[in-house]
Structure 1
Amino acid sequence: MSLGQELAPHLPFLRRYARALTGSQQHGDAYVRAALEAIVAAPGDFPRDVDARLGLYRTFQRIWSSTNDDEQSDADPVSDGTEAIAQARLARITPRSRQALLLTAMEGFTPEDAAYLIEGTPDEVEALVADALAEIERQTRADVLIIEDEPIIAMDLETIVRDLGHSVNGVAVTRDEAVSQALAQRPTLVLADIQLADDSSGIDAVKDILAEFSVPVIFITAFPERLLTGERPEPTFLITKPFQRSTVKAAISQALFFDSTTVPA
């Protein structure tokens, strides 16, 4: 099997990580392309002492680290300044803390593997994750609209959201209901399933909502690879079903991290 064939199954999930890290599909995908170009240019430098997924993320991490300074801001050099929303928070939270959080909570790496990726120790990873969560939660509070047609999942999400200190201002099960509640309640965060009760689409519901006002959105799906191709406009924040509490927590933290309406004073 060629190196390209080994890496292909992992690319959608690297895009998910990169988008969450940068807060943008465009900028996250640009970093992924840069990592792939580096591999193509020097295949002999690709880490072969670990599995293909770890080697791919390690290559990405090196590209990211070479263009981001932990001691300064996390401004994206491939961007045109669209990450300015996050600057007030980035002064308080180091990029390594957010990387540790996303690698473990969203991407499912063990502390040992995350330590390899960020070139630290497992104890350091765990400390960085704790610091990131504490600081992000201190800075961000949201009114959340949940768009989910499965009652058990909706209740689970509602419990997680409330336990994180946020408010739930509605649970919708169809596109029309979601749009109606959003316009009436004006949530500051939306959690949206893709397939809804009346065969309508959570994506369409979100498009309708975003046509009226801006709000960060996290999509929930059992088939994330379909929305992580990098070939069209796609979600920046994505949770895979079945999800873990820590995954939802990390996604909410990152979505609010880049939301201009909750920038701290």
Structure 2
Amino acid sequence: MRRLFLAILLAAGCIHGSPASQRDSGAMRAIVQQERWAQDALARRPNRADLQAIRSGDYAAVGRGRGELKRLLQAIDRGTWIRNTAAELMADDPDPQLAASFDRAGRLRADAIQASDELASALAEAKGGLTIGDLRPGLEAVRKAQASEDRLVRLPPRAGGVRLAPAPLPLPRPFLGSAARLVSANPELARELDRLPPDDAAQIRARLPDIDRGNAAGRRPVRAVLRRRRLPRRPAGQAGAQGSAGAEVITAGNRRRCPAAGSV
């Protein structure tokens, strides 16, 4: 009787799956869903025309851009979560689909970082389009992504001897330039840097002199052009030698007729 009961339990396990297999199946579905959401955010990222409209201060474009920035920052976190989860599952499961999801997540995250950094830069140029608080989730997402990569690179090979391929983060570090431009244009925002992690705040402050010099250098060519456009003064001895139309002025020693307008 006991043997019959054990056989029934084993059969039920084969039909319904073990808790471990159910857990792995649920995790795989979550990976697919997170990947889909990240791809949707990237598909909706602003194009060049949208970014230009944001820079010019178009109210509707700025509003849409702020919403897209939040979704792109979430996509960064989604990519990190997928890589962490897939790496954990790959410890016991050599499923090639997990390895493919792991690698794809690295590329998705890199694209999301680049797209969100470009969007943040455009919003920073629009008056009131961005705040230091808006950038805080992005800085945190990048920090978590880097910590994840530092941990993954130290893991032993996964099941079947599979080694995890690293996914380096884009350089220079994103969002720091946008934050520095914000503070340079609005010095009162410097106090907001104290709410950031000390390392991020220090790097932003270190960029401020370069931003200020760049702004000053951008203004110098305008003054140089204005200087070049000034008309040179004529020597005193040549003043009045020619008329305003380029014709000779008739004097006592010069009786030639001035050419009429339009004549040759």
TM-score range, shorter chain: under 0.3
Structure 1 length normalisation: TM-score? 0.22
Greater relative contact order (Cα 8 A, min sep 6): structure 1 or 2? 1
Higher-strand-fraction structure: 1
Larger CA Rg, structure 1 vs 2: 2
Higher-helix-fraction structure: 2
